Amino acid sequence: MRAFLISVALVACGGNNDSGGNCKLGNVCEDYPTGDLAAHEKDCKALTGVWSKGSCPSGNLLGTCLTPDQQTRRYYGGGDNAFTPATAAASCEHEFHGTWTAK
């Protein structure tokens, strides 16, 4: 019984960022693991983004950008207006003055 309860607790804790959320805008997704999630969700929807609970998805990931304010942005390829590795890196480094990490 004890092992069962521990298993249930681990499943309930789940993967990364279960208590946070993310905002997907086209081929970019931003993780919000902490902070005022209600405000982040409102801002996301105001920009016609899609808000979801948990971390950004990992499919078609080109790389990540860590902005100076420690915000993680994930860039994706595939689909309409998709990023390439070069355009994603340029967006991160020049538009957001972040640190680019290719997948």
Residue range 52-76: average pLDDT?
A: 91
Indicate the pLDDT class of residue 59, thresholds 50, 70 and 90. Answer: confident
The string of pLDDT tens digits covering residues 65-87 is 999 999 899 998 887 778 899 99
Report the b/e string of 55-75 with b at 16+ CB within 10 A. bbeeeebbbbbeeeeeebbbb
Mind listing the pLDDT tens digit for each residue in 1-27? 333 323 222 223 333 445 799 999 988
* Selection from 60, 6, 70, 69 nearest residue 28 by Cα: 60
3-state secondary structure of 39: helix
**Domain positions in the chain:** 2-102
